[in-house]
Structure 1
């Protein structure tokens, strides 16, 4: 079975006779623009704007967040590509020029998360900002981007799962072919991310965050749980070094285990003052000093 069916009609039996066939893209100035890229760009843009708006809650300014995003985005894209190429090395080793043809498809989300996180850590070191505070902000925004971004897979008719008769199955009907019913794994992950976003948003707004980095650890664990469960259903998984082990499922399991271990460990130790509180206290002290003078 093909892992991408851009020309297939989409249906969901649970919604009755509803069937749609959205175009995969449109033509602009003689070039085809795919909605996959448009939706992905929109997801990134909204995530960055949301992060900038929420930045003060973590002790950062919107300008600092935008500067950080300008560093993270290109490096994260490179990380996504490296992750994919590493897992599909047999496909690229004899055609190295194809490695740079990212417009032909082929990225791995975990590569972007790892590369982006490392970039944030280095940026924070240079700016003398606790990286845990920045990562907390990014994690809660990244999961929002994933809620939206997974719908790019829907438009592309890709990242779906094995054939199934489950009640929420998705039908794909290619011209002149029978309908194939599959797991809508993109939908599973989008809904899981939406639930995670709501929980993190409410949890942070209620002041439950006790130390910098806590929210990011929770995000990593939540996303890891999703990949650990959902990746096994997909038909387009990347495999680890040519083995039968699904790379993202393995990374997801490790992420979940490490995150839980860190949360338990950190619950039993004292932490320095959160960056946002330190900034507030320093600002209050400056106001008091200025008033006294």
Structure 2
């Protein structure tokens, strides 16, 4: 049977020369919701009201730059004839792993400059990052990208997907695996896990490690299904990096425990600067 299906419009709003894409809107929405959640938790843990806002102002642009650099490195053939086009980020072409690497480095520098424990701050932010990724994947859906191998319509119907998702997976005359959806759901489950682990009161840094492991395991499996892989000597870079992150996170967690570097727990009031701030606040109230 032949279907004539119009894809969803990737443009959310046009105001004269200004065009707002669903992709950018959903990334911004994910970052905003993530901010509110992280900010609420940071206040509970005794951090200043503006700390997460300051961190986001650095992490968001650096994350986007890192995501672009990562993509360009592994797709240089697209830019070799016109290197200036590397700057045309609105034309698409970013990679989440690059954003995560740049964001983590930014967080390290930020925590050191402000005098806070990076591990505890990373634990506070980790669920929000995963939630932002889950929301951002729907931007890929609107752009009809980040999909898997060809499947039948019946395959998608058997998954009990709503009609609008099935229709959007009809691309250039064929249906494809909605890998964007798999990752979005996996990330949402990960958010629930990380929020639960807060109450378990793990060692500081281990919620962040759990984030790295959870995301990487899911990405490793889902990347195998995708058709738009970035390759390193014929191997998907996302699979290589995901495997390295799982091994690295486990190794760091074990090393920190064995060497007495992870004695403080997430819910402990053990960040020296946070303790001092709490004392000041109590003094002011008196």
What's the TM-score once normalised by structure 2's chain length? 0.84
User: Relative to 1, partners in 2 of residues 1:183 and 1:63: Cα closer, same or farther, differing over 3 Å?
Assistant: same
Please state how far the C-alpha of 1:199 moved relative to its aligned partner.
1.0
- Cα deviation for residue 128 of structure 1 reads 0.9
Whole-Å Cα distance in 2 between the matches of residues 92 and 282 of structure 1? 51
| Residue equivalent to 1:232 | 224
Out of 180, 191, 196, the position equivalent to 2:185 is 191
Q: In structure 2, what is the equivalent of residue 132 of structure 1?
A: 119
Q: CA deviation at 1:28?
A: 1.5
| 1:70 shift after superposition | 0.8
In structure 1, what is the equivalent of residue 9 of structure 2? Answer: 23
Retained in 2: the 8 A contact 1:238–1:247?
Answer: yes
Secondary structure in 1 matching 2:116: coil
- 1:159 aligned partner: 146
- Structure 2 stretches of 5 or more lacking a match? none
Q: Which one of 234, 245, 249 corresponds to residue 259 of structure 1?
A: 249
Partners of 1:232 and 1:116 in 2: how far apart? 25
Instruction: Report the equivalent of 2:40.
Output: 53
The residue aligned with 2:68 is 81
Change (3 A) 1:29 1:284: closer
Change (3 A) 1:182 1:277: same
Query: SS of the residue aligned with 1:278?
Result: coil
- How far the C-alpha of 1:282 sits from its partner, in A, is 4.8
State the shift of 1:284 in Å: 7.1
For 2:194, the equivalent position in structure 1 comes to: 200
SS at match of 1:33: strand
Structure 1: which 5+ residue stretches go unaligned?
1-7, 10-19
Structure 2: how far apart are the matches of 1:91 and 1:61? 44
| Structure-2 change in CA distance of 1:284 and 1:111 (3 Å) | closer
Output the TM-score relative to the length of structure 1: 0.82
1:77-122 deviation digits (Å, cap 9, x = unpaired): 1101000000111221221100000000000101111111111111
